[in-house]
A and B are shown apart, each in its own frame.
Chain A
Amino acid sequence: MRRTHPLLILSVLFAASFAIIGTLAFISKKVQNNKNGFTRRLIGAALVPRARIAFPVVINRMIGNDSGRLLFQGNSPYSIYVSGPDLASFQHIALKIQPDSKINSGIRMFLQDHHIYVSCRNMPGIISYDLNDGTVRKHALSYFYSKEACISKDNFILRTNDPLSKDPIFTKINLNNTAARFNDQFSDRNGQSNFLTDGVLYFDATTRLACYTYFYQNGFICMDTNLNITLRARTIDTISKREIKVARVGSSLTMKSPPKFVNYLGAVAAGTLYLQSAIKADNEYQLDHAENSVIDMYDLKKGSYKGSFYIPAHEGKKLHQFHVIGKNLYAVYGKNVVMYDLSIIPDHG
């Protein structure tokens, strides 16, 4: 038998291991870089941060802006944070709302005139708080809802369930008569669960359109304040819808497996929808898409695509909420809020 040198065997094994790992890594990278069949019209220049502020608590979302003040919702239903538009400093304001365990979770705050509306999805109901005199009014609802948008003083559009078919629909309510509800006529009544059409509801004060974007399917819809549908638009991605399998656990429904997002959160301002996409375009670099949050812009009246841009990560973290006010974009990164200049984007100068 021919003798083989042990060093040769070891060298061959060493080289083979590198070759195997390299091949597997190459295959894995190739699988992840699959083409998605669409391209983005990316605005070349990066957003420029203008200011930053650090709050003592995690900021959940921006409530709104009023008289040159920016209001932020933190992690408590009993207080808000206020800063100037330049984010130079902040002030903590306590809301004198009677403590209630039902409003410790599932709250969204909205600003209309000098009123803070605390939407309590688990109560269910909406608390109106007058910032001028501290008056509190509780408006209980007899049904649960999952999304809400304040369209004018005391008026809301909710995403709730049809009382008969149980399908998710949109309802318009007035807080002074919560027993009355006006349901939309365009939502599908086909016995599908809420999960399939889960998304985010917005209201644009400029166009007076409510807009709903989907997490797990392409497109978005717009409706007027009388719940007439004005637009069914497609987003630029090519994913029609994700498959969602629903499981029953006790009396609750949940999703069997994690569906991947098609579009995530967004913002509306001055007739434009800013939508964070989860799908990489074919003309994007993998690293750019992975390290930034890509925002696609759409016209709320026509549904047309207006271009895309990146919001950079801050201190290694991606944003979890953002809002557009005039030429500025405010991105929320945990306790930090960063203001970016949007004037580099066409139509925002």
Chain B
Amino acid sequence: MKKTRLSLAALALVLAIAGTTTANATKSQEEAFPCSVVDPGGTFCLNQTDIECCEDDFTHEVVTEKVPIIDPL
């Protein structure tokens, strides 16, 4: 009985490790969007590319993603 419990615990551990590994692998494949929030300090969006990320609703001044975008795809 004790060994069965031990086996079940070990199996749970293996499943947890496998699950975490897969979740992390999937997560690392998703590109983090470099400018999904407005940065009032102006340090996040350096406004040198053509990809718009923020727009002033009143003046329509546009802030674009930071540069350089080496591999955005």
B interface footprint on A24-37 (CB within 8 Å = 1, 0 otherwise): 11001000100000
Contact present for A253 and B54 (CB under 8 Å): yes
B interface footprint on A254-288 (CB within 8 Å = 1, 0 otherwise): 11111001001100000000001010000000000
A interface footprint on B31-73 (CB within 8 Å = 1, 0 otherwise): 1110111101010001110111111111111111001111111
Within A86-102, the residues touching B (CB, 8 Å) are none
Is A207 at the interface (CB under 8 A from chain B)?
no
- The residues of B that contact A107 with a CB separation of less than 8 Å are 48
Total of A-B residue pairs, C-beta within 8 Å: 134
- The residues of B that contact A190 with a CB separation of less than 8 Å are none
- The residues of B that contact A264 with a CB separation of less than 8 Å are 72-73
Is A193 at the interface (CB under 8 A from chain B)?
yes
Contact present for B70 and A9 (CB under 8 Å): no
- The residues of A that contact B46 with a CB separation of less than 8 Å are 105
Most buried by B among A121, A252, A256: A252
- How many residues of B are counted as interface, with CB atoms below 8 angstroms from the partner's CB atoms? 49
Q: Shortest distance in angstroms between A200's beta carbon and chain B's nearest beta carbon?
A: 5
The residue from A24, A58, A254 contacting B38, defined by CB atoms under 8 A apart: A254
- The residues of A that contact B31 with a CB separation of less than 8 Å are 258
Contact present for A249 and B67 (CB under 8 Å): no
- The residues of B that contact A198 with a CB separation of less than 8 Å are 50-52
A16→B10 CA distance, assembly (Å): 11
Most buried by B among A121, A160, A200, A276: A121
A176→B47 CA distance, assembly (Å): 27
Contact present for B60 and A252 (CB under 8 Å): no
A256 in contact with B22 given A200-B50, A261-B72 (CB within 8 Å): no
Contact present for A160 and B17 (CB under 8 Å): no
Closest 4 CB pairs of A and B: A258-B33, A106-B47, A17-B14, A146-B62
Q: List 27 A-B contacts (CB under 8 A).
A: A4-B3, A9-B3, A9-B6, A10-B10, A13-B10, A17-B14, A28-B26, A32-B29, A58-B67, A75-B67, A121-B47, A124-B61, A144-B60, A146-B62, A146-B64, A161-B60, A199-B50, A248-B57, A249-B38, A252-B38, A252-B55, A253-B56, A254-B55, A255-B33, A258-B31, A276-B73, A317-B70
Contact surface of A with B, Cβ cutoff 8 Å: 1, 4, 6, 9-10, 13, 16-17, 20-21, 24-25, 28, 32, 58, 60, 75, 105-107, 121-122, 124, 143-144, 146-147, 160-161, 166, 193-195, 198-200, 215, 248-258, 261, 264-265, 276, 278, 317-318, 320, 333-334
Given A249-B37, A261-B73, 20 additional A-B pairs, CB 8 A: A9-B6, A13-B11, A17-B18, A21-B22, A58-B68, A60-B48, A105-B42, A105-B46, A107-B48, A161-B60, A248-B57, A252-B56, A254-B35, A254-B36, A254-B54, A254-B55, A255-B36, A257-B33, A257-B36, A320-B69
Contact surface of B with A, Cβ cutoff 8 Å: 1, 3, 6-7, 10-11, 14-15, 17-18, 21-22, 25-26, 29, 31-33, 35-38, 40, 42, 46-48, 50-64, 67-73
